[in-house]
Amino acid sequence: MDTISGIVRFTVEEILSQPALLLGIIVLVGLVALRKAPGDIIGGTLKGILGFVILGVGAGAVVGALEPLGTMVLEVFGAQGVVPTNEAITAIAAGEFGVTVAWVMLVGFVVNLLLARFTPLKYIFLTGHHMLFMATMLAVVLSAADIVSVPNVILGGILLGTVMVVMPALGQPFMRRITGDQPVAIGHFGTMGYILAGLAGRAFGRGSKSTEELNFPKTFNFLRDPMVATAVAMLVIYGIFTVWYAQVASAESVAAITGGNDLVVFGLIQALTFAAGVAVILLGVRTILGEIVPAFAGIGSRIVPSALPALDCPITFPFAPNAVLIGFVASFVGGLLSLGVLAATGGLGLALALILPGMVPHFFTGGTAGVFGNSTGGRVGAVVGGFVNGVFITFGAAFLLPVMGELGFANTTFGDADFQWYGILVGNVANLGAPVLYAGLGIIIVGLMALGIWIQTRFVPQPQYEVDTPGTAATKPAPVL
């Protein structure tokens, strides 16, 4: 008996407490369930584990590159400087919260399946990196409210699974216009920004022509490469602050930051190190997801065959490529203006952090907001929609930081709308303390489901998807998307 309890204890305390190994086991189970070949199972499991280890390597680089920037912004403005980048904050949090995050993700996926199976919200959320980011945000915010271990996993998992079916449902009335009723939903946690963009387009863009009738200059096309876009943004941000800092700081404090190198050159290298670190983290996330998402898709299509896949935001880009660039620029402008407001008012008089524009969030969520805005309000809609998104994700980031505990003092945070409003809501309710917080979180979950079901039944005709006929289902073992 001692041997058995010893093995169990070793498994729980040593193996399952290593997030990389836990993730490997989850991948292993998924691949076995899909009856993959032994070679694929071994390779896939190893890649899942390696991906997580790669995350940690990238996290070290981005933390190191952000620290000097934080010091300089603090000196120049007397406020915390934050560059929202989902990948960076997730990789940083993985060190301390990795195990909880992996469990929350797993429970969240099961809750997604159950809700899709038994409620009208038949969506399977397949954007793996956003599941990972949302699981991280929830684990961090609940931990900051002293909800840890099993309660964190259960509450976080239910909150995650809920938002994974509700956001696609809320976005679906617009997605139907954009895609021409294709069997696909939006599965991206910038969706609140897209809904606001769609509504703003309807309010302001009546009669405006579509962005796709424009001959839009391709000048900004190079920014479609996120590595380039991140590097460009960080070079500008670092460039501004190194020059500024050199004016206000003493030679000793400059030397303390740079170790004796030229400040501007030092800043340039840090900016590029940040972009490189994000690229490393992306490689890690890609390595993990390459195995997990197909497993999720396979399991999902077996359990809820009639569900719509909810997919990453660039799925909308080919439907309105001009709107993507217009929305991105408008979102960026919105972010800059909001930064100006934060700087000029001392963080709205609340000592909120300065939110510097993160290029990746503005490109992907601003671009998608442009597509949603264009679908209801043409060119005007794309501009207004992108702008609204940019303002939302800037103030959202500022208000999210206080509920993130120690990680609120990192120089980066979550950059997309849903992480922010959901985090602010869940975090503030969780801080009310038991038993009020359980009632509060229950109301959030039930309220969101009710809203999603109402939108779904009111605006989305059923069924709008192809239902596999029994005869063909048997011949299609692979995930069908």
Partner 1 sequence: MKILTVCGMGLGTGLVLRMSTEAALQRIGVDDAVVEVADIGTAKGMGAGYDIVLTSSELAEQLGPVKGRLITVQNFIDKNEIETKLREALDRPASPA
- Which residues have C-beta within 8 Å of that of residue 174, sequence separation ≥ 6? 186, 194, 195, 198, 372, 375, 376
- Cβ atoms of 363 and 222 closer than 8 Å: no
Q: Is 173 in the site for partner 1 (CB under 8 A)?
A: no
Task: Give the interface size with partner 1 as a residue count (CB under 8 A).
Answer: 45
Interaction between residue 128 and partner 1 (CB under 8 A): yes
Q: Is 176 in the site for partner 1 (CB under 8 A)?
A: no
Point out which span in 152-160, 283-291, 368-376, 408-416 binds partner 1 (CB under 8 A): 283-291
- The closest of 307, 419, 167 to 175, measured between CA atoms, is 167
> Which residues, 317 to 356, sit near partner 1 by CB under 8 A?
317-318, 321, 324
CB of 432 to partner 1, least distance (A): 35
Q: How far is the CB of 316 from partner 1 (least distance, A)?
A: 10
Interacting residues with partner 1 between 354 and 383 (CB under 8 A): 360, 363-364
- Strands 354-355 and 81-82 turn out to be parallel
Q: What residues between 196 and 255 interact with partner 1 by CB under 8 A?
A: 218, 221-222, 224-228
Instruction: Note the Cα 57 to chain centre separation in Å.
Output: 20
Closer to partner 1 by CB, 88 or 313: give it: 313
**Which amino acid makes up residue 159?**
L
| Smallest separation, CB 212 to partner 1 (Å) | 12
Question: For partner 1, which is the closer residue by CB, 127 or 172?
Answer: 127
User: For residues 377-436, which are near partner 1 according to CB under 8 A?
Assistant: none
SS3 state of residue 475: coil
Provide, rounded to whole angstroms, the least separation between the CB of residue 45 and partner 1.
18
Residue 217 CA: distances (Å) to CA of 214, 220, 221, 444: 9, 8, 9, 44
Start-to-end Cα distance in the chain:
48
| Position among 53, 350, 450, 481 found at the interface with partner 1 (CB under 8 A) | 481
Query: What length does the chain have?
Result: 481
The verdict on 182 binding partner 1 (CB under 8 A) reads: yes
Q: What is the 3-state secondary structure (H, E, C) of 293-348?
A: HHHHHHHHHHHCCCCEEEECHHHHHHHCHHHHHHHHHHHHHHHHHHHHHHHHCCHH
312 interacts with partner 1 by CB under 8 A? yes
**Looking at beta carbons only, is 62 or 297 nearer to partner 1?**
297
> Long-range contacts: 44-48, Cβ < 8 Å, 24+?
44/291, 45/291, 47/287, 47/288, 47/290, 47/291, 48/23, 48/24, 48/287, 48/288, 48/291, 48/292
- Three state DSSP letters for 359-407: HHHHHHHHHHHHHHHHHHHHHHHHHHHHHHHHHHHHHHHHHHHHHHHHH
> CA nearest 163: which of 451, 475, 478?
451
Binds partner 1 by CB under 8 A, chosen from 311, 333, 342, 455: 311
Q: 66, 134, 233, 313: which one contacts partner 1 (CB under 8 A)? A: 313
| Minimum CB distance to partner 1 smaller for 315 or for 403 | 315
The smaller minimum CB distance to partner 1, of residues 177 and 202, is found at 177
Neighbours of 29 (CB within 10 A): 14
Applying CB under 8 A, among 190, 193, 277, 309 the residue interacting with partner 1 is: 309
Burial (0-12, 13-18, 19+ Cβ within 10 Å), 260: exposed
126 binds partner 1 (CB under 8 A): yes
Q: Prior bond to 463 cis, omega within 30?
A: yes
Judged by CB under 8 A, the stretch of 167-175, 178-186, 390-398, 442-450 that binds partner 1 is: 178-186
Nearer to partner 1 (CB atom), residue 200 or residue 325: 325
Contact residues for partner 1 (CB under 8 A)? 126-130, 179, 182-184, 188, 218, 221-222, 224-228, 279, 282, 285-286, 289-290, 293-294, 297, 309, 311-315, 317-318, 321, 324, 360, 363-364, 476, 478-481
